[in-house]
Structure formats: structure tokens, C-alpha cells
């Protein structure tokens, strides 16, 4: 046996060796993670810090694209893959991820930090192969100081880590706190060996998720690929490793080939990388501020904000460069210069060409200029301000007919961090050393100093006598306005100003540049503003040429505090083939509280003459921050023709949008909306702000119509903003309110100072719509509202009697009262409360809550309200209808302590034509620590249903309500009709009317919320019963994978009554018998799937009468009649069984004759029919199983399911 075993072992080893050697060559180690897809499906580029053909990582997969946390003290501070938690707006971290824009999306964020001492969290990528000089990483990051403890100086930065090499800093975003995702680019550059990317966060205190990253995209990182043929295209040079580079990339101080062959034949060039010394360059200067040869290690290897982080030549912290910044002793001179040796004269056919790489980073970077000192000193190149955390290639051609020197001058500002560095200077062979002395150049006249302070330059207001402070700001209507645009491009295209004085023609156009990066061309204004609400950017643009797609053009705003903002406007394609194909744009800029820059960004598919991108007639219109245009209607607005006296608050995360075809005014007009389901929407808040209003001596009323629609919408609030910036909520609504317009009234008390009003949409959810229309702001008190939740206001209710009613919230109640309100079911929600304890309201004493007086109505109306009575002997609550003339009429009363629950009350009101008001009267009973509270008073225009038990949903949700308890559900049932619905799939008609106009409740499934989240619809509290019948109609097509469940909720426990997983087809009716020894509520619960819809209609419960139409409250007969009754029951059951058998036979025969040809639908726990059996408790199962009986008589659509009281339950 031993030889046979040895042979088998040898065979296995051979097979293993063969299988290993047959691994695809495209997945060889040297070909993986090199930014090139060598295998089908790009499997060689998986989990490389990115995954797949797009070289992106969105952190949705648990593997995190290979990124791992390697924090030294992970128990204290670390990176974690996270999702937003909970349905409410989080107190820290992002409101959603960036990639999907929902709570279900994932991102990587830091843990909470409470140590109090500096700690660093470290996130490291897998090893990637070498990268090209154009390699960059675009990412989205989140920095928010939610705990108001300070972000610190370095809450986030990135570095590259090479084997046996020091960590090299490559990215340092501005440490400003913003509650929103931001976009930035990390320029990785040429890395000749394998490397890892490291993300660091250093803080001493902070909340969970306040530093986060998401959506990584690696761009243009691969080295040049071999050409398809044997030779490179014309104008290209073959690299030693097989790729091709452009001729202009030869001898430019950058390894573009990836093997150095493009820099090997450069003996005639004068190259200085400053690794050994400063070569021929002279650092002596008349200025007190000096350039210095140094490296990052010498500057700082501890503080990532100091220095450029790396040199250009080696892309490492140990590489040398020339650097200037604010000295440790402070800034005594704001400029520094170094110069070349003397050079021989040149001519236009053989100019001296200089290539250099500059790093202009942070607010200390004032700009860099190249001057030529021959007979005179004249500028030949300049780049203003900061260009980012990147080495930028600059190329300068110099033509000078006398001996000259090149002067490189830096301007430095006295700010917190940053500086200017220069490296890898290359002089072409035409830059020949001169032995002559030349002539002493005459110094240029210094520029005239500004006539205004820097913050008043370009603020849309002339502060100087001749308006010089607004002359070079980018507005073409000024004499030198067009010269205010400064090119900030770092790539191979840039913006050029064309100006023809004779033809009076000037425009900006995109042209070829000599930069290295493959980024868009960008030109910027100086710092502008602040601006007012009417500010607009007006311009004409043209994308012309013979191509079908010329390129794209966009406008971006760069906020001095918030940084780079999302694009304001974008155009892609072509405006025509001829040069005159101009289009006009009026782009709202609106209120910007901080200084900002505007930028045109563009990329052309081809350059002139094949394609042209141009911009002309640029103007800033009505931008002064104190200009408020007159609105004939003031704040009253139907939004048919603009925003009237309102403007978008751009300091928020998103804007309100004007929507056509859905308004309250005419039905087909315009309204303002925020679509929470929009995939492009990011952030937490969108705010619409009124123009500043002067003080008012009398009360005013703000009325409007609104929609809060969808299963996971958020909150709409109205706020009063005082002159000192203090905000007060005067009205708020949240959760699903139905796909119908509701009217709201907000009393605005008299104001002694200037004030503003604010509509704020808070995005706690991701699947719904908020809309407003027909806003009116008028003098005088508001009409009595039909709905009052007491959130932010008392709605005109007043108190009288022994004790005052209090406008309270759960958080402020210290002795007695509900833990939460009814509206929001949180401690923050408000209600009206009266303390009824003996020490507040003695026995027999009264306290009354009076409503505003309402106009009489000939029709009967129904008042709904929720009340809370707590403690032993809380007293009695009575509701009266009090006519203005005549005696009051009692319409409701209760006097029991019924636990810590809100209860529903309602009653009809018939006032004739006499004006009337409501009186909620409480009479004390001598209790201790007792109370009575009232919330959510609603006056319906229709009579109450008997017991509130029948609900066709045509007049609202009756006594049914969505719970707002975040521990019970995350979503809401929504009221709509097929006619009104334009976003979600719904039934073709309702059940009540059988038309598209009829209403129903529905619960959709969409990718905007996570699967298996739920929505609970609650009945009022119902008394104990020996038999109550719940009847409802349900719609659930086969395409829907959602579930519908029915529960009985009593004493905090849910008892499952019914599960509907599969239904299919049209509306079907369900009858469920309910018994309960305790007070209870009925719960209709939707469980979200991945697609489809569940809908409900015609919900009815017959309190005390079971589905057999028998009185569930009666008891069984006693005495010697029991035997006769039992015999009678047996006979009746036998007769019923015979009839059922005959009916089953008949239905089976008919169904077989009419059976469809397709496969039968899948069965479910409920199916299309039910056995007439009692549910039995099976506590070990996850769901109730209901036997399916084929061809049961109930298959016609009527399902009678008796249910015992001891059915399966769960604690809530």
C-alpha cells in the first residue's frame, strides 16, 4: 500500500504544481494593481485600493477595496466602515454616504475620540505599482466639528509610503468645519516603485464619523501603453519600455516614459534638481526675505502643514528644492528673488526655453513671477495665488536682444501656513552662459498701491473716487474688467484673453498649454463679494467647430470659507458650427456671506482651429450685498414668475427647485420642491430665506400650502431669524402627510428689529418630496388653523381657570407629564399640559384650554385630538363646543388614568351658522403627581364615522396614524391616488371608488431606503374584546417582494395575527378575528422589499362584533342547556361541511375549466385563500404558517381568519 500512497501523493503534487503554473499571465504579480486592465473583467485590478475598470472605490463592499485600519491605538481612535445610523438626523457624521446618497450607503469614518490627548487614526491601502506623473486621486471627504471642540490643525491628510522610504505628505485639505461632503484631488505624481496611500486623522476630541472619506477615483495613473502598431504616431517619441510620449515631454525634468528614457539624451540642457547644490542659480537678494535650499525633513517631519511635503525630482520627503515662506521671526518683507547667471542674447527663432516646477500652496502663497533683466526688467510669466498641493509644470520662452538674467520672484503673505517652492529647473541649449557684464537694467516703477483695503476690493461697491477698486474684477463692462480673470490651469489646456481694441472685441478662449496634468482649463476672478440675494452672473458662450462634440464648459464657485463648491452650471456638446453661434446665460449667484471667486472650467476635445470654446460679455448684475430688489407682492408668492421676496440660502447643503406641473394655485403651474429621492441631493438642509424685513408694530400671519410626501421624507419648518442671527422655530411638520396640499398658518408676532423668515427642509429621510406654494404674508392675526400640533406655536389656544395650561415638551417636564409628545414621539415635541395634582389643581377646581373662535358652518364637522392622562386620580377631561351665543355643549369626557399612552378622541360638531370655540376643561380630583395633556387637534370638514371604525381613505386617514417612534419603524405609509402619483408604482385604481381618483394607503419599495425596513400604521386604543373583526382590502402584485403583517399591540407586546408575503392580482379582502383580554391597538405593518408596492384601502374594524357578525362581548349560556347547544352546534357544523364540500366541488370544476395556461403563482404564508382555522402559537418560528387549501370558497377574495389572543408575540 505504501508505494500506491506515494504515487498518489506525487500525482497530487504534480497536479497542484501544474494548476499553479497555469494561472493566467494577466494576473501575474507584476501586472496586478498597475492601473491597467490586463484580464477580462479587469480581475487583475480588484481590491487594489480601488476595484475594476473604473479604478474606483465606494466602500460598499465589506472588503473596502483592500483598505485596512492600522491605527497604533485602534481602541482609542481608528477608521471604520460605517453607515448612517437611525432614521433621525444624526448628531455627528454624514447624513448619508456620498456614492449612493442614502442611509444605506457605506463610507469610511473615524471612531469617537474622548481621550483628550492627540491620537492618530491611520487607514492604509494595498500596495500599488508605480504611477505616472499625471496620476491623481479624486475623493470626497467630510470634516465637521459636531461637538464644537475644534477640529485641530490636521484633522485629515494623505501621504504615500514606499518601501524603505519616509512617509511623504501629498494632500492637506483646509481644516474648516462643514456639515457636508466636499470634493478634492490628491496629486500623487510620478512614483517609480510600489507604494501605498495612507489617510491620517489626528485629533484630541471628536464625535463619531466627523472625519470621513468616500468615492475614491484614480485618474490617469497608468504609464504610457505600447502603441497598437510597431511605431508611435507622428509627433510622438518611443519609450524604452514600449510606450509613446509627446516631443515636448522630452528633457522637461519629468520621467514621463516611466523608465527615464525621455530624459536620457539631454546633455546640452542645464538641469538643476537642487539635490547637491543650487547649481548656477544665485540666491542672494536685496530683499530681507530669502529663498533657501532645503527638503521636507529639514522643514518638519511632524507638522504636515509645513512645507510642500515633497520635492518634485524624487517625489519624496528627502528630496531638495528651493523654498520661501514666512520666517519664524515674522514677515518683514513680502517678496523674495533668486536669479540665473548671465545669459547670451536670444532671438525669436532660437529662444531660451526654461521649464520649472512650482509648488504654490496655502494662503501664504501670494504668487510667483518670472522677470527678464536685460536693458530693462520686464515680466514674462506669472501665476497668482495658491494652485493647490501639487507641483505644477511651467514653461517660459525668453527672447532678449541683450545679455540678460532670469529673475524668479515670489510674493509671500502673512497667513497661518503655506509657502512657495521651485524645483527641477531645465534651461534649453539656447540658454547660453555669457561672460559679458551686460548693462544695469532700470528698475520698473512700483505699482500704485490700492486705494481701498483688501476686503473692499471687488465687493460690488465703489470705495475709491475713480472706482479703481472695482476695475479689474472680471466684469467686462469695466475698462480693464476682462483682465481680472486669471488663468489657474495646471494642465495641457488653459484660458487666454483675446482683446482687440480696434474691433472692440474681447473674449476668453481655451487654448493649448504646456502644463503636465490632464485636468480642465480654469480661469478665476479675484476674491469677490460678499453678494446680495439678486446677484447674477451674465455671460455669452460658444462651443463651435466641425466636431459633433466640442467639449464642455462649466461655472464653479470657490468660497473662501467652504472651499470648492459644486458646479453652478454646465454645458456639454456644441452650440453650432459657425463662429457666431453664441448662447446667453443668466446664472443666479445669490447671497454669499463670505468672499468668493467665480471660475470658468472647460475641456476641449480638440484645440483650435478644429474646436473653439469662448466666453464673452461677462457681467455681475445686482450683486451688492445691500441691494434687495423691490417685489410687488413682497413675501407673498405663487412662484409662477420667480421667487418674489425670497432667495436661496447657499450656506445650506442644497437648494429648493422650481417645479412645473405640480402646484396648488392652478394645478399645472409652478411650486417650490425638494426631492429627497433625488440621487444628486447631498447634505442635511435646504433653506429658503426672505429678504430682510423692517420692524413691524403689529402681529402678522404667514400662510402657505405644503406637501410632505413619501415614506421617508424629513421635516419642513418655518423659522424666525432675528437681526442678531438667533433662530426660533414657529412651525414644523414631519413624516408622511399624504400626496395632497395642506394649508398652514404661522403667527408672526410684532418685531422690534429687522428680521427674516426661513423655510427649512431637513433631510432626515431619502425617499419623499417637500413642496410649498401660494405663500402669503399679511398683517393681522392668523385664522384659526384646522390642524394644530403645538410645534413651535400655540395656534391661538389660550388658558383660563385656577391653573394655566402650559406649552411644554417632554424634555422640560421635571415632575409629571408624558415622556414624549404625540406628533413627533420624541422628547423635543410639544403639547399642552395642565398639572392636576392636589397642590396645583385642588379637587373640584377647573382649568380650561380655549381654542380660537371659529366661523359657524351649516355642515357637521368632526374634531379629532389626542390626550394623555397620567397618575392616580388625574381628574376628568371634558370637551365642550361653546357657541358665541348660548350654552356650551359637552361632546366628550374621560376621567381614567390609562397608562403612559396617548389616546385618540373625536366628536361631531354641529354649530349651525353660529360662531363657536372648543373648551378642553379639566376638573381636579385631588390626585398626586397627575396631569392631563392634549396634542394634535384636527378639525375635519366631514362628520366622524361611527366609532371611527370605517375608513375609505377618501377624506384622510380617519383615526389611523403612522407611528413616529423610531424604535418601532423607520418609514411611513403614504396616502395618495393613482391620478396624483407621478413617482412611485401604484395600483391602477383604488378599491373604494374603483377609479384613478380614489385614495389608498401605499408603501413602496425603492433603492432610496434599505430593504426590510418597516412602516407601522396604528389604530386608536381599543377596549378589551372577546371578538372584534378587522376588515381591509390589500393590493400586492407578484412583482412586489414586500410583506404585509397584522399585529395586535397590547401591554407593549406585539402579537402576530396575519402575514401576507404573496398575493398577486387585484384588490383582495381580508377578515381577521381579534380577541384580547387587555386594551389593544391594531398594527398594520409593511415590510419593505427591493421592488414593488403594497397598498391598503377600506379599512374597518367592528368593535365587539366578530367576523361571524356575532357579539363578541356576550357570554355562553349556562345550566342544562349546554348539551342541547352542543348537539345543535354539531348538526350545524355537519350541514356547513356538506355545503362547503359541494361548493368546493363546483368551484374546482369551474376553475379547471377557466384555468390560465401559464404557471401558477408561488404560494405564500397567506396565499390567495385560507383555512378557517385558529392560529396557534409557535414561538420558535420566525413567521406564522397558514395552511393553504386549494379552491377554498374564500379564494374569491374574501378571507375569514379567526385569531386567538395567545398568538405569537414580540416585545416592542
d(CA 634, CA 712): 33
Under the banding of pLDDT at 50, 70 and 90, the label for residue 607 is: confident
Q: Using an 8 Å Cβ cutoff, are 572 and 551 in contact?
A: yes
d(CA 150, CA 56): 32
Residue 47 has pLDDT above 70, yes or no: yes
Higher local confidence (pLDDT), 88 or 1121:
88
Q: Which residue has the cell 559679458?
A: 436
d(CA 360, CA 367): 7
Q: What is the mean pLDDT of residues 90-99?
A: 90
Nearest to 323 by CA among 342, 347, 339, 307: 307
d(CA 666, CA 899): 48
Under the banding of pLDDT at 50, 70 and 90, the label for residue 965 is: confident
Residue 760 DSSP SS3: strand
Residue 12 has pLDDT above 60, yes or no: no
3-state secondary structure 1028-1050: EEEEEEEECCCCCCCEEEEEEEE
Tens-place pLDDT, residues 474-487: 999 998 899 999 99
Task: Give backbone dihedrals phi and psi of 1146, rounded to 5 degrees, phi first.
Answer: -65, -45
What pLDDT is stored for residue 811 in this prediction? 53
What pLDDT is stored for residue 977 in this prediction? 92
Residue 1171 has pLDDT above 60, yes or no: no
Residue 18 has pLDDT above 50, yes or no: no
Residue 1148 has pLDDT above 50, yes or no: no
Higher local confidence (pLDDT), 663 or 777:
777
What pLDDT is stored for residue 1146 in this prediction? 44
Higher local confidence (pLDDT), 1162 or 402:
402
Q: What is the mean pLDDT of residues 421-434?
A: 96
Higher local confidence (pLDDT), 275 or 23:
275
Tens-place pLDDT, residues 811-862: 555 668 898 888 888 887 899 999 999 989 999 999 999 999 998 888 899 9
Q: Nearest-5° angle of CA 173, CA 175, CA 179?
A: 100
d(CA 682, CA 107): 14
3-state secondary structure 337-354: EEECCCECCCECCECEEE
Q: What is the mean pLDDT of residues 1182-1189?
A: 32
Under the banding of pLDDT at 50, 70 and 90, the label for residue 447 is: low
Q: What is the mean pLDDT of residues 232-251?
A: 91
What pLDDT is stored for residue 227 in this prediction? 85
Higher local confidence (pLDDT), 884 or 1186:
884
Residue 471 has pLDDT above 80, yes or no: yes
Higher local confidence (pLDDT), 690 or 713:
690
Tens-place pLDDT, residues 566-580: 899 999 999 988 877
d(CA 144, CA 315): 31
Q: What is the mean pLDDT of residues 1112-1129?
A: 36
Residue 420 DSSP SS3: strand
Residue 503 has pLDDT above 80, yes or no: no
Q: Using an 8 Å Cβ cutoff, are 277 and 293 in contact?
A: yes
Q: Which residue has the cell 377631561?
A: 877
Task: Give backbone dihedrals phi and psi of 903, rounded to 5 degrees, phi first.
Answer: -115, 150
Residue 42 has pLDDT above 70, yes or no: yes
Give the CA distances from residue 746 to residues 730, 779, 822, in Å, rounded to whole numbers and listed in that order: 7, 12, 20
What pLDDT is stored for residue 466 in this prediction? 82
Here the cell at position 201 is: 486623522
What pLDDT is stored for residue 941 in this prediction? 86
Under the banding of pLDDT at 50, 70 and 90, the label for residue 87 is: low
What pLDDT is stored for residue 804 in this prediction? 93
d(CA 791, CA 831): 8
What pLDDT is stored for residue 882 in this prediction? 93
What pLDDT is stored for residue 449 in this prediction? 66
What pLDDT is stored for residue 764 in this prediction? 78
Tens-place pLDDT, residues 1023-1062: 899 999 999 999 998 888 889 999 999 988 999 999 988 7
What contacts 24+ positions apart, CB below 8 Å, involve 295-300? 295/319, 295/320, 295/321, 296/168, 296/169, 297/166, 299/323
Q: What is the mean pLDDT of residues 355-380?
A: 93
Here the cell at position 793 is: 406655536
* Bridge partners, residue 930, by sequence: none
d(CA 484, CA 620): 13
Q: Which residue has the cell 378571507?
A: 1199
Mean pLDDT (the chain, rounded): 85
Residue 1143 has pLDDT above 80, yes or no: no
Q: What is the mean pLDDT of residues 933-955?
A: 84
The percent of residues above 90 in pLDDT, for the chain, comes to 58
d(CA 33, CA 53): 11
CB atoms within 10 A of CB 858: 8
Residue 554 has pLDDT above 80, yes or no: yes
Residue 290: CA atoms inside 13 Å, Cβ hemisphere, count?
A: 10
* Bridge partners, residue 304, by sequence: none
Q: Using an 8 Å Cβ cutoff, are 735 and 962 in contact?
A: yes
Residue 1119 has pLDDT above 70, yes or no: no
d(CA 1057, CA 108): 42
Here the cell at position 808 is: 411644554
What pLDDT is stored for residue 20 in this prediction? 45
Under the banding of pLDDT at 50, 70 and 90, the label for residue 285 is: confident
What pLDDT is stored for residue 535 in this prediction? 94
Residue 1113 has pLDDT above 60, yes or no: no
Please tell me the least confidently modeled range out of 416-425, 988-997, 1170-1179.
Answer: 1170-1179
Phi-psi region of 209 (alpha: psi -120 to 50; beta: other; left: phi over 0): left
What is the model's pTM? Answer: 0.78
What pLDDT is stored for residue 946 in this prediction? 63
Residue 948 has pLDDT above 50, yes or no: no
Residue 1150 has pLDDT above 50, yes or no: no
Higher local confidence (pLDDT), 747 or 5:
747
d(CA 645, CA 775): 11
Residue 543 has pLDDT above 90, yes or no: yes
Higher local confidence (pLDDT), 1001 or 1090:
1001
d(CA 940, CA 948): 13
Higher local confidence (pLDDT), 428 or 514:
428
Residue 1207 has pLDDT above 80, yes or no: no
Residue 282 has pLDDT above 80, yes or no: yes
d(CA 1190, CA 1163): 11
Amino acid at each position: 500500500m505504501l508505494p500506491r500512497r506515494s504515487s498518489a501523493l506525487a500525482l497530487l503534487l504534480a497536479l497542484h504544481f501544474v494548476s499553479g503554473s497555469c494561472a493566467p499571465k494577466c494576473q501575474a504579480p507584476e501586472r496586478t494593481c498597475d492601473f491597467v486592465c490586463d484580464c477580462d473583467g479587469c480581475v487583475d485590478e480588484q481590491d487594489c485600493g480601488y476595484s475594476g475598470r473604473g479604478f474606483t472605490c465606494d466602500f460598499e463592499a465589506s472588503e473596502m477595496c483592500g483598505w485596512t485600519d492600522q491605527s497604533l491605538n485602534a481602541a482609542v481612535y481608528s477608521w471604520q466602515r460605517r453607515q448612517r445610523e437611525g432614521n433621525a438626523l444624526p448628531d455627528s457624521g454624514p447624513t448619508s454616504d456620498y456614492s449612493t446618497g442614502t442611509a444605506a450607503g457605506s463610507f469610511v469614518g473615524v471612531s469617537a475620540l474622548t481621550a483628550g490627548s492627540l491620537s492618530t487614526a491611520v487607514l492604509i491601502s494595498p500596495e500599488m505599482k508605480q504611477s505616472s506623473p499625471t496620476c491623481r486621486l479624486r475623493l470626497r471627504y467630510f470634516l465637521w466639528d459636531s461637538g464644537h471642540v475644534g477640529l485641530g490643525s490636521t484633522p485629515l491628510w494623505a501621504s504615500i509610503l514606499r518601501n524603505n522610504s519616509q512617509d511623504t505628505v501629498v494632500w492637506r485639505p483646509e481644516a474648516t468645519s462643514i456639515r457636508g461632503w466636499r470634493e478634492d484631488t490628491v496629486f500623487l505624481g510620478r512614483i517609480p516603485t510600489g507604494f501605498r496611500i495612507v489617510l491620517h486623522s489626528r485629533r484630541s476630541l471628536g464625535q463619531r464619523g466627523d472625519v470621513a472619506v468616500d468615492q475614491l477615483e484614480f485618474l490617469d495613473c497608468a504609464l504610457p501603453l505600447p502603441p497598437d502598431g510597431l511605431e508611435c504616431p507622428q509627433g510622438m517619441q518611443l519609450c524604452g519600455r514600449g510606450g509613446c510620449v509627446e516631443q515636448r515631454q522630452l528633457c522637461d525634468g519629468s520621467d514621463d516614459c516611466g523608465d527615464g528614457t525621455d530624459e536620457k539624451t539631454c546633455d546640452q540642457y542645464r538641469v538643476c534638481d537642487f539635490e547637491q547644490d543650487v547649481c548656477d542659480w544665485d540666491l542672494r537678494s536685496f530683499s530681507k526675505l530669502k529663498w533657501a535650499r532645503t527638503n521636507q525633513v529639514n522643514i518638519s517631519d511632524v507638522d504636515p502643514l509645513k512645507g510642500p511635503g515633497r520635492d518634485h525630482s524624487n517625489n519624496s520627503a528627502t528630496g531638495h528644492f528651493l523654498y520661501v515662506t514666512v520666517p519664524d521671526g515674522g514677515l518683514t518683507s513680502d517678496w523674495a528673488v533668486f536669479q540665473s547667471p548671465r545669459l547670451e542674447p536670444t532671438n525669436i527663432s532660437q529662444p531660451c526655453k526654461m521649464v520649472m516646477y512650482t509648488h504654490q500652496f496655502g494662503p501664504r502663497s501670494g504668487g510667483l513671477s518670472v522677470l527678464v533683466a536685460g536693458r530693462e526688467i520686464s515680466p514674462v510669466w506669472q501665476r497668482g495665488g495658491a494652485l493647490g498641493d501639487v507641483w505644477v509644470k511651467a514653461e517660459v520662452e525668453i527672447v532678449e536682444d541683450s545679455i540678460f538674467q532670469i529673475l524668479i520672484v515670489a510674493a509671500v503673505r502673512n497667513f497661518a501656513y503655506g509657502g512657495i517652492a521651485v524645483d527641477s529647473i531645465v534651461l534649453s541649449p539656447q540658454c547660453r552662459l555669457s561672460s559679458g557684464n551686460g548693462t544695469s537694467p532700470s528698475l520698473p516703477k512700483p505699482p500704485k498701491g490700492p486705494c481701498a483695503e483688501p476686503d473692499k476690493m471687488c465687493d460690488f461697491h465703489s470705495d475709491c473716487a475713480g472706482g479703481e477698486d472695482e476695475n479689474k474684477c472680471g466684469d467686462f463692462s469695466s475698462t480693464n474688467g476682462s483682465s481680472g480673470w486669471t488663468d489657474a490651469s495646471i494642465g495641457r489646456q488653459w484660458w487666454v484673453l483675446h482683446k482687440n481694441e480696434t474691433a472692440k472685441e474681447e473674449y476668453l478662449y481655451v487654448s493649448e498649454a504646456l502644463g503636465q496634468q490632464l485636468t480642465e482649463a480654469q480661469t478665476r476672478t479675484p476674491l469677490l463679494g460678499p453678494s446680495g440675494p439678486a446677484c447674477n452672473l451674465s455671460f455669452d458662450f460658444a462651443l463651435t467647430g466641425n466636431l459633433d462634440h466640442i467639449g464642455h464648459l462649466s461655472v464653479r464657485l470657490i468660497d473662501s470659507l467652504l472651499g470648492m463648491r459644486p458646479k453652478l452650471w454646465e454645458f456639454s456638446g456644441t452650440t453650432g458650427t459657425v463662429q457666431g453661434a453664441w448662447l446667453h446665460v443668466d446664472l443666479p449667484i445669490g447671497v454669499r456671506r463670505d468672499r468668493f471667486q467665480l471660475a470658468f472650467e472647460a475641456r476641449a476635445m480638440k484645440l483650435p482651429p478644429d474646436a473653439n470654446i469662448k466666453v464673452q460679455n461677462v457681467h455681475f448684475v445686482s450683486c451688492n450685498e445691500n441691494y434687495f430688489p423691490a417685489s410687488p407682492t413682497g413675501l407673498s408668492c405663487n412662484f409662477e414668475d420667480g421667487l418674489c421676496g425670497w432667495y436661496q440660502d447657499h450656506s445650506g447643503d442644497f437648494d429648493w427647485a422650481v417645479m412645473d406641473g405640480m402646484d396648488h394655485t392652478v394645478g399645472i403651474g409652478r411650486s417650490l420642491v425638494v426631492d429627497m429621492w433625488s440621487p444628486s441631493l447631498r447634505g442635511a438642509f435646504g433653506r429658503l430665506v426672505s429678504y430682510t424685513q423692517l420692524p413691524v408694530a403689529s402681529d402678522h400671519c404667514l400662510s402657505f400650502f405644503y406637501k410632505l410626501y413619501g415614506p421617508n421624507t424629513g421635516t419642513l419648518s418655518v423659522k424666525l431669524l432675528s437681526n442678531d442671527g438667533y433662530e426660533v422655530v414657529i412651525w414644523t411638520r414631519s413624516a408622511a402627510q399624504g400626496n395632497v396640499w395642506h394649508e398652514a398658518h404661522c403667527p408672526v408676532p410684532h418685531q422690534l428689529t429687522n428680521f427674516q423668515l426661513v423655510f427649512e427642509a431637513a433631510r432626515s429621510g431619502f425617499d419623499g418630496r417637500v413642496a410649498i406654494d401660494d405663500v402669503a404674508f399679511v398683517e393681522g392675526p392668523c385664522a384659526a388653523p384646522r390642524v394644530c400640533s403645538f410645534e413651535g406655536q400655540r395656534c391661538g389656544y389660550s388658558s383660563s381657570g385656577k391653573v394655566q395650561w402650559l406649552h411644554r415638551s417632554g424634555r422640560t417636564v421635571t415632575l409629571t407629564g408624558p415622556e414624549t409628545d404625540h406628533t413627533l414621539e420624541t422628547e423635543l415635541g410639544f403639547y399642552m399640559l395642565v398639572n392636576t395634582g392636589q397642590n396645583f389643581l385642588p379637587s373640584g377646581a377647573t382649568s380650561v384650554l380655549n381654542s380660537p373662535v371659529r366661523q359657524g358652518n351649516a355642515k357637521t364637522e368632526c374634531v379629532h385630538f389626542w390626550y394623555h392622562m397620567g397618575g392616580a386620580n388625574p381628574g376628568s377631561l371634558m370637551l365642550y363646543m361653546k357657541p358665541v351665543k348660548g350654552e356650551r355643549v359637552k361632546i366628550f369626557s374621560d376621567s381614567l388614568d390609562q397608562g403612559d399612552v396617548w389616546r385618540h378622541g373625536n366628536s361631531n360638531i354641529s354649530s349651525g351658522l353660529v360662531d363657536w370655540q372648543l373648551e378642553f376643561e379639566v376638573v381636579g380630583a385631588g390626585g398626586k403627581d397627575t396631569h392631563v395633556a392634549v396634542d394634535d387637534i384636527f378639525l375635519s370638514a366631514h362628520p366622524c364615522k361611527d366609532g371611527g371604525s370605517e375608513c375609505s381613505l377618501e377624506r384622510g386617514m380617519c383615526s389611523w396614524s403612522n407611528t413616529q417612534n423610531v424604535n418601532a419603524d423607520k418609514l411611513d405609509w403614504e396616502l395618495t391616488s393613482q391620478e396624483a402619483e407621478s413617482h412611485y408604482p401604484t395600483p391602477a385604481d383604488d378599491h373604494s371608488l374603483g377609479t384613478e381618483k380614489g385614495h389608498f394607503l401605499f408603501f413602496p419599495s425603492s433603492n432610496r431606503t434599505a430593504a426590510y425596513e418597516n412602516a407601522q400604521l396604528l389604530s386608536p386604543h381599543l377596549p378589551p374584546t372577546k371578538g372584534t373583526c378587522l376588515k381591509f382590502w390589500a393590493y400586492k402584485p407578484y412583482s412586489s417582494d414586500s410583506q404585509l403583517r397584522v399585529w395586535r399591540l397590547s401591554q407593549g407586546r406585539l402579537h402576530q395575527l396575519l402575514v401576507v408575503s404573496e398575493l398577486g392580482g387585484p384588490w383582495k379582502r381580508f377578515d381577521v378575528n381579534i380577541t384580547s383580554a387587555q386594551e389593544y391597538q391594531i398594527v398594520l405593518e409593511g415590510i419593505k422589499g427591493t421592488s414593488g408596492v403594497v397598498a391598503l384601502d377600506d379599512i374597518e374594524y367592528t368593535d365587539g362584533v366578530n367576523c361571524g357578525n356575532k357579539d363578541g362581548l356576550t357570554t355562553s349560556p349556562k345550566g342544562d342547556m349546554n348539551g342541547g347547544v352542543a348537539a345543535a352546534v354539531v348538526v350545524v357544523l355537519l350541514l356547513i361541511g356538506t355545503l362547503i364540500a359541494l361548493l368546493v366541488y363546483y368551484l374546482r370544476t369551474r376553475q379547471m375549466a377557466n384555468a390560465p395556461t401559464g404557471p401558477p403563482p408561488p404560494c405564500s404564508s397567506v396565499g390567495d385563500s385560507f383555512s378557517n382555522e385558529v392560529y396557534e402559537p409557535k414561538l420558535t418560528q420566525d413567521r406564522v404558517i397558514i395552511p393553504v387549501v386549494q379552491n377554498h370558497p374564500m379564494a374569491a377574495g374574501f378571507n375569514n381568519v379567526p385569531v386567538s389572543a395567545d398568538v405569537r408575540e414580540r416585545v416592542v
